Each structure stands twice: as C-alpha cells, then as structure tokens.
Homo-oligomer: A and B are copies of this chain.
Amino acid sequence: MQKKLLEVCLTPALLPLYKVEDYIVVIIDIFRATSSICYGIENGAQAIIPVSEVEECAAYREKGLNYLLAAERNGEVVAGFDFGNSPFAYTADKVAGKTVVLTTTNGTHALHLSRNAKKIVIGSFLNLTALSNWLKTQEENILMVCAGWKNNFNLEDTLFAGAVIEQLKGDCYVLDDPALAANDLFQIGKNDISQYLSKTSHGERLKKLGIEQDIAFCLQVDIATAIPVLEGEKLVKLA
C-alpha cells in the first residue's frame, strides 16, 4: 500500500505552502467554533454556515425564521442575534432542523483558504474518535489546518491535531515536522488537557471573558459522532 501524507498546517498563514487539492482537510478551531459546529450538527442542525463578519451574518436575517444567527463581540451576544459562540447554545431544542449562521473569524479564514481541498471536514475533541475512524478509511492524504490565533500558532488547535495523529499514526502515513511536533505536544498534554492549556496566554484571555465553562465543554472527548463536512457554503452532517 502506498503511504499517505499526514500533515499539520499550524496556521492559516502557512496554507499557501500546501497544495490543498491533494488532501482531505480537517479544520480545527477548538475554542470555540469547530466545537460548537460539531455539537450543533450532532444535535440535528440542518446546516451551519460559517461567516467572517457580524454584518454578513445579519444579512441572513431576511431569509426567514429557519435561520438562527450566532455572533458575539467581546464575549457578549450581539444585540438582535439569537446567540453567541458558546457551544451551550447548540442544543437540540434550539438547533434541530434549523440552519445556523455562525460568525467566526479564524475558522472562516481557514475554511476559505482550504476551499480547493478534496473534502473539508470539521474536527474537535467532541468528535475526535469518530473523525479519526473515518479518516482511517479514506485513501487520501490528510492535512489538519489549525485556525490558530490571529494567523499565528496556538496550542489548543495544535494539541487536537496531535490527538488525531495519535489515533492514525502507523505504517500507513508519513508525518511532516509539524505533525511530529503536534503529536509530541499531545503526549505532554494528554493526561490533563485543560491543565496543560491553562498556561497559555489565550487561556488567560478566555478566562477573563468568563467562558471557563465553554472551555471545559470544548475539551470533552467523544461526546459526538457526527462529522460536519462542507458542501458549497454549508456545513452539513457527513452521510
């Protein structure tokens, strides 16, 4: 069997270095976009549409009541929107059968730059094993794209990439240096991911926003089995 590539793009700024057409791309934005997306799709959202700007999100208001609009600024739900980016908003009673328009700067940027990939799926700790098992069945190169923080490296997204690699690594894949590093960082952090990530500056920032509960939620492993996949502009449940 020919070996496949198992690689990690540490920030969207490095995506131009990859020929995304050759890969299945996994988008990772652990705090909180891709965690909320996985949870929402798991709970029966018909689709989730990621957009960059609050204004873009607001434009969906006119499309009717089946759209729920999610946007926050500085940790608060924007006035007139249905909810913010907390995964707790994506429960079945709220999202089942609905289309959610989600404002997420880093995540949308990563998605947009990856649009020519063979397929784009969404990863988070919530669907870690389901995602990894599906990836194993694909005879394709895999590129995990960390949304990062303001185009730079962050630990939480990289650690998750390392967690996927932990489940996939073996004779079938060739890892690049970022993948080796991500997997090693996961080895260091895996026994207490929350504790490991608490030392990051981003963790500090999130704590100040009062979203420790969101963070704890996003670090739950395998509470979902749905894999969101991009179809056109929409993320839907992989059949």
Contact = CB atoms under 8 A, between A and B. Distances in A.
A150 B181 CA distance: 17
Contacts of A181: 153, 155, 158, 181, 185
A128 interface: no
A200 interface: yes
A174 interface: yes
Contacts of A200: 177, 180
A174 B205 CA distance: 14
A7 to B, nearest CB: 10
A166 interface: no
A11 interface: yes
Interface residues of A, number: 28
A97 interface: no
Instruction: Give the copy number.
Output: 2
Nearest to A203: B177
Interface in A156-210: 158, 174-178, 180-181, 184-185, 187-188, 199-202
A216 interface: no
Given A154-B177, A158-B181, A202-B177, A14 B13 contact: yes
B151 A17 contact: yes
A20 interface: no
A177 B201 CA distance: 7
A88 interface: no
A48 interface: no
26 contacts: A10-B10, A10-B153, A11-B14, A13-B13, A14-B151, A14-B152, A14-B153, A17-B152, A149-B177, A152-B176, A152-B177, A152-B178, A153-B177, A153-B178, A154-B177, A155-B177, A155-B180, A158-B181, A174-B201, A176-B201, A180-B200, A181-B181, A184-B184, A184-B188, A185-B185, A188-B188
